[in-house]
């Protein structure tokens, strides 16, 4: 963990738990998804449903990845955070692999999906967005997934998503990250403000949105008042089970 503020670069999802590298996680997830695909064998002529997906939207530093990791262990899902999506998006071979699998399981759905999303929304139709959205849809189609960040709830079919917004005060974020990095709170605040600007720029560029409306979400959790990540994960788990009650993993995954 970084101890010196001059070397400090905040990365969403960075908390006390040590995790494998982003490249290792990405390759492991893709390998496991493809092994599962091979075990499944040839697909039915009837297209499958997109698995129920959990999408966390968060302000940077709130601790959403920690909550997602706790939840993932409880429900048997994989966590795909911003850096993993970036890695997959940048790795053309991985993207080819995921879209090929998607085309087998959901014949013709990729082109249909991309055409519809740009027709029905104000999202700019450009090469970057098409590649990003195709990546999100492909990863969601490969198996049970929890996404953190990147506005994935705006991209995937809304009826197949539990959209969760994680919020908190600036003071909470600063205290939390200062504790993790053991750094001065003024320095943490400066870095957070820079990352907030980057996040807002991304949403404006990709989605033409200034901020996240609460009306986009099934559930909003304020971590100023629900501070234990295990409690937050339990709330999301209950909401997920209620929304997708009756859909057994073995039948749709």
**Domain CATH number, residue 210:** 3.40.50.300
Tell me if 37 is assigned to some domain. no
Tell me if 249 is assigned to some domain. no
pLDDT given for residue 75 in this prediction: 96
Sign of CA dihedral 248, 25, 137, 148: positive
pLDDT given for residue 161 in this prediction: 97
Tell me if 186 is assigned to some domain. yes
Cα–Cα distances in angstroms (integers) from residue 54 to residues 27, 158, 179, in the given order: 21, 11, 28
Cα–Cα distances in angstroms (integers) from residue 214 to residues 134, 190, 199, 219, in the given order: 25, 26, 17, 8
109 compared with 120, residue with greater pLDDT: 120
H or E stretch at 139: helix 127-142
Per-position b or e across 118-152, b if 16+ CB within 10 A of its CB: beeeebeeeeebeebbbbbbbbbbbbbbbbbbbbb
Percent of the chain with pLDDT over 70: 72
pLDDT given for residue 105 in this prediction: 61
Q: Which residue range is the domain that position 72 belongs to?
A: 19-32+48-238
Cα–Cα distances in angstroms (integers) from residue 55 to residues 23, 161, 166, in the given order: 21, 7, 11
Look at residues 121, 153, 133, 141 and name the one whose alpha carbon lies nearest to residue 217. Answer: 153
pLDDT given for residue 11 in this prediction: 47
**Rounded average pLDDT over 185-197:** 94
SS3 58: strand
How many domains does the structure of the chain reveal? 1
Extended strands (E) in the chain: 53-58, 78-80, 145-148, 161-167, 219-222
pLDDT given for residue 102 in this prediction: 59
Sign of CA dihedral 124, 127, 133, 134: positive
Tell me if 244 is assigned to some domain. no
Tell me if 125 is assigned to some domain. yes
Chain CA centroid to CA 138, Å: 13
pLDDT given for residue 82 in this prediction: 76
Tell me if 65 is assigned to some domain. yes
pTM: 0.81
Percent of the chain with pLDDT over 90: 51
Residue 250: pLDDT band (50, 70, 90) is: very low
């Amino acid at each position: 963990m970084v101890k010196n503020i001059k070397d400090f670069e905040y990365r969403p999802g960075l908390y006390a738990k040590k995790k494998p590298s982003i490249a290792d996680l990405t390759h492991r997830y893709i390998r496991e998804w493809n092994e599962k695909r091979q075990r499944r064998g040839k697909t039915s002529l009837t297209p499958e449903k997109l698995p129920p997906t959990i999408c966390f939207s968060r302000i940077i530093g709130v601790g959403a990845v920690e909550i997602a990791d706790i939840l993932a262990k409880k429900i048997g899902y994989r966590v795909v955070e911003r850096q993993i999506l970036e890695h997959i998006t940048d790795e053309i071979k991985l993207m080819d692999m995921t879209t090929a699998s998607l085309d087998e399981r959901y014949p013709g759905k990729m082109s249909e999906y991309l055409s519809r999303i740009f027709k029905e929304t104000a999202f700019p139709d450009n090469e970057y967005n098409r590649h990003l959205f195709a990546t999100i849809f492909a990863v969601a189609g490969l198996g049970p997934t929890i996404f953190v960040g990147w506005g994935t709830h705006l991209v995937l079919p809304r009826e197949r998503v539990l959209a969760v917004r994680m919020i908190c005060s600036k003071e909470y974020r600063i205290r939390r990250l200062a504790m993790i990095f053991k750094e001065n709170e003024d320095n943490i605040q400066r870095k957070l403000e820079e990352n907030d600007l980057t996040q807002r720029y991304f949403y404006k560029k990709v989605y033409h949105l200034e901020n996240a409306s609460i009306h986009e979400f099934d559930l909003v959790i304020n971590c100023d008042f629900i501070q234990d990540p295990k409690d937050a994960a339990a709330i999301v788990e209950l909401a997920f089970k209620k929304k997708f009650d009756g859909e057994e993993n073995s039948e749709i995954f």
